[in-house]
A and B are shown apart, each in its own frame.
Chain A
């Protein structure tokens, strides 16, 4: 069982470059979300989706875009990368709403912006 799959695992960008972090789940989960993890800051919610075609902002949405065209996929786009976006990014999904159900996490993407 694949669960939640994130690609790439590592990425180095230059300031101003754009890229998309991919996330796919095969559990038919309605809810998907993106978190970033920084030392001493815990996990902070960037964007989330409660179903295909529906997305909303989390705690730290600035500089990131998302879309949800299918139930399985929830890509995170950085339009113009900044050094402040250097972080570890985790995608997570759950069977129903994000607040009441346990989250299943992907293995993460370590992003460095130079």
Chain B
């Protein structure tokens, strides 16, 4: 079946530093979604990318979808303590199954 890997698995940064997580799928994706899970919480939808090469921004967060639609990245500029959590990418295996990546846990030190 489809596999979705993320790197790094864990990263800690000083507040104000940038952070990037990368997502790679074993198959071409029709779309990719990103979720954030705060410690002790549940995943919350952030964004969906559909087009090859698409770039979307949400304040300090920049999301990219690769040209081949097999990889994606999330970049956070000038991290804040509120960015702490685990970030997941997810891609559909078919119309009914959303397969999640392994996640990147971000820790921000003040």
Q: Are A107 and B42 in contact (CB under 8 A)?
A: yes
Contact assessment for A99 and B42 in the assembled complex, using a CB-CB cutoff below 8 Å:
no
Interface residue? A44 (CB, 8 A): yes
Provide the residues of chain B in CB contact with A44, threshold 8 Å.
Answer: 100
Per-residue interface assignment for chain A, residues 73 to 89, with 1 indicating a CB less than 8 Å from any chain B CB and 0 otherwise:
00000000000000000
In chain A, residues 56-114, which have Cβ atoms closer than 8 Å to a Cβ of chain B? Answer: 56, 58-59, 90, 92, 97-100, 102-108
- Verify if B30 is at the interface (C-beta below 8 Å from A): yes
Is there a chain A Cβ closer than 8 Å to B48's Cβ? yes
Q: Is the CB of A35 within 8 A of B100?
A: yes
Q: Which residues of B contact A (CB under 8 A)?
A: 1, 4, 6, 9, 30-31, 33, 35, 41-45, 48, 88, 90, 92-103
A→B interface (CB under 8 Å): 31, 33, 35, 40-45, 48, 50, 56, 58-59, 90, 92, 97-100, 102-108
